[in-house]
Chain A
């Protein structure tokens, strides 16, 4: 399959009050490519992801995304309802009829917690439930903010393998991570 340009960022700048978070950032990504955004705390990694998602507007510059599908995004917050069971949360994500749901429930070892309220799960288990949003996505563009935080080694490997497979399926991946992972990626360093 031919690779086509998926994301183009031109001269992106963002400042909070008078403090420049980043200035004149440009990059482009083809389908099947991955971008690892690196940088110290407060360097604007999450803000850049939010700009790519269209949640935050850049002070200057433009982003163009060559996809009409919904973007797949996992941020610091898992977008889960604490007062609902795992089953109900899956229903809210609209994955209840997804053909691969059972498979990933098994892989993530969540089956025995399906009737349990999310509030009663550990942070790692909640994170795994949040990962279903990624594992069952049908998007062309995957954006992840620190996806490995809170996950055990085994799940980190499952996630890495999944993301590598997604890249082979010509999806585009943009992520931030302080935890090293074995994904073949371009690197963007924010200072």
Chain B
């Protein structure tokens, strides 16, 4: 619990790091209706595509400096020489990022979805999808950020972007499935299955990558 509290303290004080991605998401979702006609049916076309891509981009921005600051100021070295599990600390950091950025964005997703579709059930169905997908994206981009630790965050994002594409496909299919009344839960379970693997694998891989960078 103490680690969770300390990670929260660090992120809370870095306003740009947590508020920036939320504002970018908010701006994309606000700007989207301006580019199409203000008619219900026109707005609904493409809304969910924009929503998932906005979540993807926000998560990419959120992980931009997830490890680089600790790498530069020597905190990573201090963490590695401790007897505490490094993988555990990475998991905690990703959870805190998700709670501070992913969850608010999921709530905003619901609000924007309701405002656009005026369909409460459909908007409610967006919540679990955005909550799970934001967590998956955070893990994937954290992996990218670790890979390109001293080479700029854009490279890492480009490397890990292909891993996020299947998730985007599943997200798109989930909404269609919900609208048609078929297999929505199966898609949620599929995403949860992916997440359960990623939650375990990513911190382990990231810890090895960071140790290799420090060497």
Q: Which residues of A contact B (CB under 8 A)?
A: 53-57, 68-71, 73, 75-84, 88, 91-92, 94, 133
Q: Which residues of B have CB within 8 Å of A81?
A: 10, 13, 69, 73, 75
Chain B residue with Cβ nearest A84: B13
Give chain A nearest CB distance to B70 CB in angstroms.
8
Q: Which residues of B line the A interface, CB within 8 A?
A: 2, 6, 9-10, 13-14, 69, 72-75, 77-78, 80-83, 211, 214-215
Is A73 touching B78 in the complex (CB atoms < 8 A)? yes
Contact A83 B13 (CB under 8 A): yes
Task: Using A77-B74, A83-B14 as known contacts, list a sample of 12 further A-B pairs with CB atoms less than 8 Å apart, ordered by residue number in A.
Answer: A70-B81, A71-B81, A73-B78, A75-B74, A76-B74, A77-B72, A78-B73, A79-B75, A81-B75, A84-B10, A91-B9, A94-B2
**A92, closest chain B residue (CB):** B6
Q: Give complex CA distance A167, B21 in Å.
A: 50
A55 x B13 contact (CB < 8 A): no
List of A residues within 8 angstroms of B9 by Cβ: 84, 88, 91-92
Give the chain A neighbours of B6 by CB distance below 8 A. 91-92, 94
> In the complex, how many angstroms separate the beta carbon of B116 from the nearest chain A beta carbon?
37
Q: Do A55 and B81 have beta carbons less than 8 Å apart? A: yes
Structural contact, A57 and B14, CB atoms closer than 8 A: no
Q: Which 8 residue pairs are nearest across A and B when measured between Cβ atoms? A: A77-B74, A79-B74, A79-B75, A79-B78, A56-B215, A70-B82, A53-B81, A71-B81
Judge whether A88 and B215 touch: CB under 8 Å.
no
Say yes or no: B73 contacts A55, CB within 8 Å: no
Complex alpha-carbon distance, A124 and B104, angstroms: 41
Nearest chain B residue, comparing its CB with the CB of A143: B81
27 A–B pairs (Cβ distance < 8 Å), ordered by A: A55-B77, A55-B211, A56-B214, A57-B215, A68-B83, A73-B77, A76-B74, A77-B73, A78-B73, A79-B73, A79-B74, A79-B75, A79-B77, A79-B78, A80-B73, A81-B10, A81-B13, A81-B69, A81-B73, A83-B13, A84-B9, A88-B9, A91-B9, A92-B6, A92-B9, A92-B10, A133-B78
Q: Are A78 and B81 in contact (CB under 8 A)?
A: no
Q: For A133, what are the chain B residues with a Cβ–Cβ distance below 8 Å?
A: 78
Chain B residues lying within 8 Å of A91, measured Cβ to Cβ, are 6, 9
Q: How far is the CB of A60 from chain B (nearest CB, A)?
A: 15
Find chain A residues with CB under 8 A from B82 CB: 70
B74 lies within 8 A of A78 (CB):
yes
Q: Judge whether B13 and A88 touch: CB under 8 Å.
A: yes
User: Could you tell me the distance in whole angstroms from the C-beta of A69 to the nearest C-beta in chain B?
Assistant: 8
Q: How far is the CB of B10 from chain A (nearest CB, A)?
A: 7
Considering the complex, give the chain B residue whose CB is closest to the CB of A78: B74
Q: Which residue of the partner chain, among B69, B75, B215, contacts A55 with CB atoms under 8 Å?
A: B215
**Which residue of chain A lies nearest to B5 when distances are taken between CB atoms in the complex?**
A91
Tell me the bound Cα distance from A84 to B9 in angstroms.
9
> Smallest CB-CB separation from B215: which chain A residue?
A56
Q: How far is the CB of A63 from chain B (nearest CB, A)?
A: 13
Contacts of B75 in A (CB 8 A): 79, 81
Residues of B within 8 A of A94 (CB): 2, 6
For B215, list chain A residues within 8 Å (CB): 55-57
- A91 CA / B8 CA spacing, docked (Å): 12
Please indicate the chain B residues that have their CB under 8 angstroms from the CB of A69 in the complex. Answer: 83
How distant is the Cα of A146 from the Cα of B213 in the complex, in angstroms? Answer: 23
Q: How far is the CA of A83 from the CA of B72 in the complex (A)?
A: 14
Complex Cα gap A53–B79 (Å): 12
- Please measure, in the bound complex, the distance between the C-alpha atom of A55 and the C-alpha atom of B215, giving whole angstroms: 6
Chain B: minimal CB distance from A25 (Å): 18
